Structure 1
Amino acid sequence: MASSTATTKTSSKRTGAAANGPATPAPGSPEAIEANDRDFFWTYTEEPHRTRRLAIIKAHPEVTKLCGPEPLTKYVVAGVVALQVYIAHFLRDTPFWSWKFWALGYVFGATANQNLFLAIHEISHNLAFRSPMANRLFAIFANLPIAVPYSASFRPYHLTHHKSLGVDGLDTDLPTAFEVVFLDSILGKAFFCTFQIFFYALRPMMVYQIPMTWIHLLNVVVQVAFDYALVALLPGYFSGNSLLYLLLSSFLAGSLHPTAGHFIAEHYVYEKITPTARDPANQLPIPETFSYYGPLNFFTYNVGLHNEHHDFPAVPWTRLPVLHETAKEFYADLPQHRSWTYVIWRFIFDEEVGMRCRVKRRQGGRVVGGGTAVAKIADWKETEIEA
């Protein structure tokens, strides 16, 4: 079985209306958005990772020694950046519509840029260098083949995702109610999976905005200078096609590509949610993070070990398998995925899996880097807040 989830989740097409109840509201209307917002998996329990982290540390105190930067990361990033620059050079005279251009973009470019997306994810947790500033600057370097500046903005939104998992209005990894209304169909989900890179890039700014800082400005300036150099300053070595290759690589990395399955696999609920679990008075924890232990972790900094990562964000990618083996009794019975490709396929075609299949909570969490909830960062350490 491609996915380990042997149970079948109750239909995501629930309307909550009785047979003789009110008529279904028109798509896009305020009533429809409100109704679909209620159709997420609302929970009244604490997010599970802090509790499990404390239990693991109590049972295996040695896991705390796994925390800290991984020196190998900077060499892997440098190698992937060099690979992408070389392929951009190689394709400088190859037309955009050529099969070779698209084949290299899909097989090598998308895989490489997905690797760099997740390198920036790793670096956002200060896991490449001990110095926070060195990590910020190195993330800008890792950003170069992605061709669009995003590393500086990603960090505060991503750390807020960790501190505010599932919190409505703070966790920008959650689909909006507006997305649910228009995309919770086979065609809509296919559109979402094809263009999900744009949803992940634009949605955070629609939820709340973080203040612009000098590191954001540096990210933009360096990226624009790099892109301009490819197009105009290095004739004979690069061309406009070189930049198109990098942009295509970034698009395909967040589209219908096997490694893009992790975006959905990490937190969309494929499990059966019982009525008892939905009852606020008797609610049990709902699984909301899911791991994958397959071979694509080799290309993606072990991001598939996602329960492990949320439990211990300070453990780098090379030591997550050690964490898993050390605390195996805590992870053995958790639901997991066996194929990211099948995750995408089932997400699109299974009517019982869709945009609504996310756990939400009303309260808790903190924002990093200011924004509309700046008061909620008062209990953060200074090193955790965006400079």
Structure 2
Amino acid sequence: MNRDFIYSDTPVSHTLRRRDIAARHPEVRALNGRNIGSAAWIVGMVAVQWLVAAQMPAADGWLLVAVAFLFGAFINHALYVMIHECTHSLVFASNTLNRMFAILCDFALVLPSAMGFRKFHLHHHRYLGQYDMDPDIVSHREAKLIGNASWRKAAWIALLPVSQALRPMKLKATHGVALWDAWTVGNLLAVIAVNVAIWQFLGAAALGYLALSTLFALGLHPLGGRWIQEHHVTQEGQDTYSYYGPLNKVCFNMGYHNEHHDFPGVPWNRLPRLREIAPESYENLKSYDSWVGVLRHFIFTPSMSGYSRIVHPSTVPAGAAPAAATQEE
């Protein structure tokens, strides 16, 4: 049974690989930029979810759950990917527009997550693998709660939205990273107003459908394998893993995770091209072609747990304030 993380003094590979690829293939620099077409996808997906939600008051309970699992989860997961694109300023040049469209994604997600994600995801990139500063790493308390038992790991994945919502508290406790600002408050108020409007005009079943779609998108669902795939260690010394399976087609290539960490300024539609340009940099890294297989391995392999993460030495001295993360990280 794992009782602690995997500690390593070796630097995270992404910076070195980015420099190596840029030196051997200078044409990759042209892949950086923005995809304003993502804005149309955001508007369209939110509209589709509202249209489907409007049909739910006439559906029985099991049909509502089935539609949320088989359809809504894919849309809401894709909206989380669009929040991710906005976080890295890969949609508009304006940070204000990126923030506004990220909040628009939340209008079908029920949870006011866009601005919190923006703040803490950029820390994840800057401080990848550093226990105190990477909000993607579970706390010791959470890792011990997850344990190695299959039922505990399955329950944790099913409730992953709760875990992800609480995890940034670790940064507040260790380095005083502020959880609230004007944008996060505005995000909260806007989503509350939209949720109330959906309840009033479309009904409780419509809001329930959207909430279940989010629960499945982030939890015990084929899409849930993404959260394990990205950084849980199954190859000694490898921090990050990519997924090249068919579900990339419905999640805007989010599986190209090594590529994204290497070049976070490349929008989703150009990530496959990055791998085509520099195949020698990615073909020897372990990757996956099945998120269901990733979930199965994590849940039923006793050695896999919340501790299956590589932790690197912190670059922030104890008690010091961390450097501000930016969208270029």
Task: Tell me whether the two structures share a fold, i.e. TM-score over 0.5.
Answer: yes
**Is 1:193–1:344's contact at 8 Å kept on the other side of the alignment?**
no
Residue of structure 1 in register with 2:104 after alignment: 141
**Is 2:132–2:170's contact at 8 Å kept on the other side of the alignment?**
no
| SS at 1:165 equivalent | coil
**Is 1:297–1:303's contact at 8 Å kept on the other side of the alignment?**
yes
Q: What is the distance in 2 between the residues matched to 1:81 and 1:333? A: 38
The amino acid across from 2:40 in the alignment is Y
Residue of structure 2 in register with 1:24 after alignment: none
Q: What is the distance in 1 between the residues matched to 2:14 and 2:197? A: 44
Please, which of 352, 358, 366 is the counterpart of residue 309 of structure 2?
A: 358
Is 2:321 aligned against 1:375?
yes
Q: What is the distance in 2 between the residues matched to 1:194 and 1:229? A: 28
Residue of structure 2 in register with 1:333 after alignment: 284
More helix by share: 2
Q: What is the distance in 1 between the residues matched to 2:179 and 2:165? A: 16
Residue of structure 1 in register with 2:37 after alignment: 72
- Superposition deviation, residue 181 in structure 1: 1.6
Q: What is the distance in 2 between the residues matched to 1:79 and 1:107? A: 19
Counterparts of 1:112-127 in structure 2, within 5 Å, are: 112-127=75-90
Is 2:221 aligned against 1:257?
yes
Please, which of 137, 150, 160 is the counterpart of residue 186 of structure 1?
A: 150
Question: What's the RMSD between the two structures over aligned residues?
Answer: 1.9
The amino acid across from 2:155 in the alignment is F
**Is 2:265–2:328's contact at 8 Å kept on the other side of the alignment?**
no
Moved more, 49-58 or 70-79: 70-79
**Is 2:112–2:191's contact at 8 Å kept on the other side of the alignment?**
yes
**Is 2:7–2:312's contact at 8 Å kept on the other side of the alignment?**
yes
Larger radius of gyration: 1
Is 2:206 aligned against 1:242?
yes
Counterparts of 1:279-290 in structure 2, within 5 Å, are: 286-290=237-241
- Superposition deviation, residue 364 in structure 1: 2.4
How many residues matched? 324
Q: What is the distance in 1 between the residues matched to 2:145 and 2:36? A: 44
Q: Deviations over 1:279-312 (max 9, x none)?
A: xxxxxxx101000111101111211110000000
- Superposition deviation, residue 100 in structure 1: 0.9
Residue of structure 2 in register with 1:19 after alignment: none
Q: What is the distance in 2 between the residues matched to 1:211 and 1:103? A: 35
Q: Deviations over 1:95-125 (max 9, x none)?
A: 4xx2211110101111111111111011100
Residue of structure 2 in register with 1:307 after alignment: 258
What TM-score, normalized to structure 1?
0.80
The amino acid across from 2:158 in the alignment is T
- Superposition deviation, residue 250 in structure 1: 0.7
The amino acid across from 1:245 in the alignment is Y
**Is 1:291–1:336's contact at 8 Å kept on the other side of the alignment?**
yes
| SS at 1:146 equivalent | coil
What TM-score, normalized to structure 2?
0.94
- Superposition deviation, residue 186 in structure 1: 1.5
Q: Deviations over 1:196-252 (max 9, x none)?
A: 1211121112442424221111111111110111112x2xxx111111111111111
- Superposition deviation, residue 362 in structure 1: 2.2
Counterparts of 1:6-155 in structure 2, within 5 Å, are: 13-14=1-2, 36=3, 39-95=4-60, 98-155=61-118
| SS at 2:14 equivalent | helix
Q: What is the distance in 1 between the residues matched to 2:89 and 2:278? A: 23
Question: Where does structure 1 lack aligned partners over 5 or more consecutive residues?
Answer: 1-12, 15-35, 274-285, 367-371
- Superposition deviation, residue 374 in structure 1: 7.0
The percent of aligned pairs where both chains have the same amino acid is 35
The amino acid across from 1:196 in the alignment is L
